[in-house]
Chain A
Amino acid sequence: MHITKSEDGKQLIIGGLGETELEMLHGVREAADPTACPEAERRLFPEPIADADERDFDAIADWKEFVVPDLRSQFDDALDQLDRDVAHAQQVRKLPMKRFEIELQAEHAELWYSALNQARLVLQEKYKLPSDNTGLSLEDLFAKGQWRAYFQSRFYAEIQCWLLEAGLTDDL
């Protein structure tokens, strides 16, 4: 798998995707859903004020009324864009080794990054994934039922690294 940039810099092409990888990209929205996981919900929408006292209660209520829905909508927009781009994946090689390619506008890179990040944050909270590879064993991942979420999260992180290198920081 690889990400390349078009000559004019306006498109990013994610190429060499296998069926499993494409399936994981189709699964970003589901992975990013914090429903039924309060820890994930709290991680995506943290309290705005630490050590709040009663003078802050109105501000926190306002935050939940106005800011959180705005953030939720912003996050949903990112997931929508990723879904639209993934839905247009092109099959570029047939059996026995199917390969797919996704073309996205470079300006969508930030939305993709956000969508993948949401998925990783939720997976992290839902499955309590190991935070680094130190002492990581496949047996542990299987035993704890974490292996699928772990590889999914690692795959999304790889794409995020490529997105960062491919142009997310271009406008700095």
Chain B
Amino acid sequence: MTETKNKVKRKTDTSIYRAGQILAAANPDTEVLDAPATDTATTTEEDTPWNVLVFNDPVNLMPYVTMVFQKVFGYSESKATQMMLDVHQKGKCVVWSGEREKAEFYVQQLQGYQLQATMKKA
């Protein structure tokens, strides 16, 4: 199989949205302490999980869609088959959730296999 690599070269690094970095950029003299991991008072852009969605289409063959889920995500055949059936019967399915960079990588992979894939904030 031809291996594809994620070639997203972001001009605007999303890490800039980290609250501490923005504060540091605004006032270089301010000492910034990392917020504890359990502090959820402020939800930053980077913290927002993203869903990877696959939509049903009349072209992609069902065994192929199952195979793609196995290849891209390493899912078991039963899990991949269940997701494929969800796509087919419900019109769409969240096939993965997590951080934005990985979601972009997976969307690129899925579109490389010509599935109708996109990502959306959870």
Contacts and interface: CB of A to CB of B under 8 A. Distances in A.
Interface of A: 43-51, 55, 58-59, 61-63, 66-67, 70-71, 74, 77, 110-111, 113-114, 117-118, 120-121, 124, 129, 131-132, 153, 157, 160-161, 164, 168-169, 171-172
A172 B79 CA distance: 14
B63 A50 contact: no
A157 B62 CA distance: 12
Contacts of A131: 58
Contacts of A172: 67, 70-71, 77
Given A74-B112, A113-B64, A120 B59 contact: yes
Nearest to B50: A49
A161 B61 contact: yes
B86 interface: no
Contact of A164 (B11, B67, B70, B71): B67
Nearest to B6: A67
By Cβ-Cβ distance, the 10 closest A-B pairs, closest first, are A131-B58, A50-B120, A58-B12, A50-B118, A120-B59, A70-B7, A117-B114, A121-B59, A169-B67, A66-B7
A62 B8 contact: yes
Interface in B18-67: 45, 53, 57-61, 63-64, 67
Nearest to B62: A164
B116 interface: yes
Contact of B118 (A47, A55, A132): A47
Nearest to A77: B2
A168 B67 contact: yes
A164 B68 CA distance: 12
A103 B57 CA distance: 31
B7 A44 contact: no
Contacts of B53: 50
Contact of B111 (A55, A62, A71): A71
B8 A111 contact: no
Contacts of B57: 43, 121, 124
Contacts of A114: 113-114
B90 interface: no
Interface string B5-16: 001111110100
Interface string B63-94: 11001001100000100000000000000000
A169 B63 CA distance: 9
B95 interface: no
B71 to A, nearest CB: 7
Contacts of A168: 64, 67
